[in-house]
Amino acid sequence: MPAWLRKSLVVVISMVTFGMVSPAQVNGFLTTTTERSEKSTAAETSFVDSLDVPLDEEEEREMFIHRTMMEAEQQSFQKFGAKIGPVIEDDFRQTILPNIEKAIEMVAFQYPGEKLNSLRITEIPGGGESEKIFHIIGDNGKDIIRFHVRRDQPPKDGFWFNFHYHTYHDNFQTHYELGRIFWAKNTPPKWKS
C-alpha cells in the first residue's frame, strides 16, 4: 500500500472515530477482517501492523496540517456566510487557501510532532465587521497565529478583502499578507450574513 494512502487512511480513521476508538481497537478490527479475507495482501497486513507503531514526526506534522486545513476552510466559509461565500469561493480556494496552508506549515515546523496535538483552532469566526477568521491556540491557551480578513476600500477602486495573518513573534503587530480578493464597487454585506 502506498505511503500516502496509508497516511490518508490513518487520518480518516482518526477523524471518523474522533477519539471514540483506540488504535488497539481499530487494530483488532482490521486484524479480524484481514484474517477472514483469504485474499489479504502483505500491504494490508503492513497497514494493520503500522497502527501499533507511533507516528513519526513527519506524519504528526502532516496530520496536523491536514486537520487544521479542513477546520480552516470550514471556519472561513462559515465567516463568509451565504452572501459573500458563493461570490468569492473560487478565488479563495485558488489564491488564499494555499497561502493559509503555507502559514500553517510554518507553524507546524516550529513545534515537535508530539506538541502539535496540543494546538487547537478557535471554533467561532468573527461576524459583522470583525476581521477574525480563526486563530491557532497553544496548550497555554494563548494565540500563536491569527488569520484575519479586512475590508479595504482604496480610493475609486471598490472594495477588496485583504486576507492576512499575525503571529505572536512580534505581538501580532505585523500584517503578513495572504492575498486579496476584489468584491465590487458596492459595500459588501456583513460577515456571516
- What count of Cα atoms within 13 Å lies in the side-chain half-sphere of residue 77? 13
Residue whose C-alpha is closest to residue 85's, from 149, 174, 168:
149
- Residue 36 has a pLDDT of 43
What count of other Cβ atoms lies within 10 Å of the Cβ of residue 111?
A: 19
- Residue 56 has a pLDDT of 80
**Entry pTM:** 0.71
- Residue 3 has a pLDDT of 58
> Cβ(74)–Cβ(92) under 8 Å?
no
Delimit the domains of the chain by residue range.
3-53, 58-184
- Residue 111 has a pLDDT of 87
- Residue 58 has a pLDDT of 87
- Residue 114 has a pLDDT of 79
φ, ψ of residue 86 to 5 degrees: the values are -60, -30
**Residue 64 exposed, middle or buried by CB count within 10 Å (0-12, 13-18, 19+):** buried
Residue with cell 465587521: 129
Q: What is the mean pLDDT of each run of 10 residues along the chain (193 residues)?
A: 58 54 44 43 44 69 93 95 96 97 94 86 91 94 95 91 96 96 95 93
- pLDDT of 128-165, one tens digit each? 999 999 999 998 999 999 999 999 998 888 999 999 99
- Residue 32 has a pLDDT of 44
Residue whose C-alpha is closest to residue 101's, from 135, 75, 66, 77:
66
Sign of CA dihedral 173, 179, 184, 188: negative
β-bridge partners, 147: 134, 165
